[in-house]
Amino acid sequence: MRIILLGPPGAGKGTQAANIVDSYKIPHISTGDIFRKNIKEGTELGKKAQEYINNGQLVPDELTCGLVASRLSEEDCKDGFMLDGFPRNIFQAEYLDKYLSENGIGLDKVVNIEVDPKLLVERACGRRICKTCGATFHVKFNPSKQEGVCDVCSNALTQRPDDNEETVSNRINVYLSETKPLVSYYTEKGIIADIDGAQDINKVFEDIKAALA
First to last CA, the chain: 11
Is 127 among the catalytic positions? yes
| Residue 80 DSSP SS3 | coil
Please report, for residues 20, 31, 61, 134, the alpha-carbon distance to residue 192 in angstroms, rounded to integers and kept in the order given: 16, 20, 23, 28
Other CB atoms within a 10 A radius of the CB of residue 179 amount to: 22
* Contacted by 186, from Zn ion, Mg ion, ligand AP5, none: CB < 5 to 8 Å by type: none
Contact 182, 87 (CB under 8 A): yes
The answer to the question of whether 125 is labelled as a binding residue is no
- Which of 25, 133, 166, 196 touches Zn ion (CB under 5 A)? 133
Instruction: Please enumerate in sequence order all residues whose Cβ is within 8 A of that of 72, keeping only pairs 6 or more positions apart, or say none.
Output: 29, 81, 99
Taking CB under 6 A as the criterion, the residue among 4, 29, 39, 137 binding ligand AP5 is 137
Q: Name the 3-class secondary structure at 130.
A: strand
CB nearer to ligand AP5: give 46 or 80.
46
Kindly indicate which of the ranges 9-17, 119-127, 155-163, 202-210 contains the residues binding Mg ion, using the contact rule CB under 5 A.
9-17
Q: By the criterion CB under 6 A, which residues form the site for ligand AP5? A: 7, 9-15, 30-32, 35, 52-53, 56-59, 64, 85-86, 88, 92, 123-124, 126-127, 136-138, 141-142, 171, 197, 200-201, 204
Catalytic positions, written as ranges: 13, 88, 127, 160, 171
